[in-house]
Amino acid sequence: MTNQSITPVSVASERPIDLRDANALKNRLPSASSGLMARADTYCPKVNDLPARLVAAEHVGSFLVDVPRATARQRRALLTFAVEDRIAAPIQSVQVVQGPLDSADPGRLLAFVLSQEVMAEIASADAPYLPEFLMIPRPDPEGGPAWSVWREGDRAVVRASDGIGFALRAAMLPSLWARAGHPKLYALAGTLGDALPAEDLSAAPPPPDPRDIAFSFARPAAAGTEGFAAWRWAAAAAGAALLIHLGLTAFDTAALKRIAQQERIAAEAAIAGVLPGVPLTGDVGPILARLTPTPSDAGRGPFLPLLNEVAGTLAQNSATVGFRRLSWGRRDNTLVVLMQSPGLEDLQRIEQDLESAGFAVRSGAATAGNGGAEVEMRITGGAGG
């Protein structure tokens, strides 16, 4: 009969794991690639004379999500809900941050997920922090899915054409590439081996995207004007489109000159037939008043006069401001404007100028983030109302 009783064993099957430090597992996570850190020193703007720092891709989850159109505050909540079912961690233990994503469909956003512990370290730093894969430009998605790969040793950092990024062991790259449907490959550093048909760009890797390098998880206060560098990249193109969309080009100097020239031509033609021999001076107001019938105010609404007064007041303010949304209430003749500027100080100065001009202004809660600030203002009345 075989003895099946339990007997003590004085030796372990494997070597013990040292758990003396609560950060032991965290310390074993890889750091950012040295080559990508060198690119950060070259391309990223300094803040407070400190270079940008990179967060290893293993610390940052990136997801492409679809959310409905919403305000900035609502969008943060929608991002959190969108990734809650896609991460293997309680949602209370992480923070979700919107990442930069150009040329995306409306409602499609890039979400970054970090642990609360890592985010706390970043928030207390004086230098900007961003994921290391943002140092790799997105490959062109026009020809289909593509990956740009930065390899150093046995570790590879990948940036996909849809904007997400991740890191993995180089030995796992062929199998993951096959499971992803064989996207087109670009090798930006190191060789990928004969098993992967990659286009070699390592001799002259393309620079990172300006909007990507302007991103930071934390926005430290900058000395001088460098703190606005990130905002300028994002607002340079959007500002002109917003102004055109809201009709602010009506106040453009060139347009006003064209209108004045047309009025002068009309006055000269009228004088030639009705008041022959009367010279046309620079002041055409009295002559036009005699020749032009007085327009009737019947049917004229209060919207355009109010918009004209508000725009004239804003034109005298030196602060940089953009309109993201504009609506009008006919019942109380109120403009509801969602304004955006580089900082809260500009919005406060605009509100004070409007009130000084005779407007009644009610402001909602101001929000700040991603290098800018925005607030909804309800503007009633006016200097001429």
The angle formed by the CA atoms of residues 154, 56 and 22, to the nearest 5 degrees, is 100
Are residues 205 and 149 both part of a single domain? Answer: yes
Residue 18: inside a domain = no
* 197-204 CB contacts, 8 Å cutoff, 24+ apart: 198/149, 201/148
pLDDT tens for the chain, 385 residues: list them.
444 444 444 444 444 444 434 343 344 456 889 999 999 999 998 888 888 999 999 999 999 998 888 787 788 888 888 999 899 889 999 999 999 988 667 778 999 999 999 998 888 888 889 999 999 999 988 889 999 999 999 999 999 999 999 999 999 999 999 999 999 999 999 899 888 999 999 999 999 999 999 999 876 444 333 334 444 534 444 554 454 445 555 456 667 777 777 777 777 776 676 666 666 666 666 666 666 665 555 556 788 888 888 888 888 877 777 877 888 888 888 888 888 888 888 888 888 888 888 888 888 887 877 777 888 888 887 544 4
CB 341 within 8 A of CB 347: yes
Are residues 172 and 74 both part of a single domain? Answer: yes
Residue tagged 């404007």 (tokens): 337
The pLDDT score that the predictor gives to residue 227 is 39
Overall domain count for the chain: 3
- Beta-carbon contacts of 224 under 8 Å, excluding residues fewer than 6 positions away, are none
The pLDDT score that the predictor gives to residue 2 is 47
Are residues 43 and 104 both part of a single domain? Answer: yes
Are residues 233 and 327 both part of a single domain? Answer: no
- The full DSSP string for 143-158 is TS-EEEEEEETTEEEE
**Helix, strand or coil, per DSSP, at residue 169:** strand
Q: How many Å apart are CA 332 and CA 335, to the nearest integer?
A: 9
Are residues 329 and 235 both part of a single domain? Answer: no
Residue 8: inside a domain = no
Residue 67: inside a domain = yes
**Helix, strand or coil, per DSSP, at residue 233:** helix
Q: What one-character DSSP code corresponds to residue 95?
A: E
Are residues 129 and 232 both part of a single domain? Answer: no
- Domain containing residue 48: CATH number: 3.30.420
Q: How many Å apart are CA 99 and CA 109, to the nearest integer?
A: 7
The pLDDT score that the predictor gives to residue 248 is 53
Domain ends where: 292, 313, 341? Answer: 292
Residue 9: inside a domain = no
Amino acid at 64: L
Q: What one-character DSSP code corresponds to residue 366?
A: -
Domain ends where: 168, 200, 223? Answer: 223
Length of the chain: 385
Domain ends where: 223, 244, 261? Answer: 223
The pLDDT score that the predictor gives to residue 312 is 83
Q: Which segments of 124-216 does DSSP mark as H helices, in order?
A: 173-179, 210-213
Are residues 263 and 313 both part of a single domain? Answer: no
Residue 252: inside a domain = yes
Q: How many Å apart are CA 279 and CA 351, to the nearest integer?
A: 46
Structural domain range at position 62: 29-223
Residue 279: inside a domain = yes
Are residues 158 and 89 both part of a single domain? Answer: yes
Q: What one-character DSSP code corresponds to residue 375?
A: E
Are residues 62 and 175 both part of a single domain? Answer: yes
**Six token digits for residue 62:** 């990136």
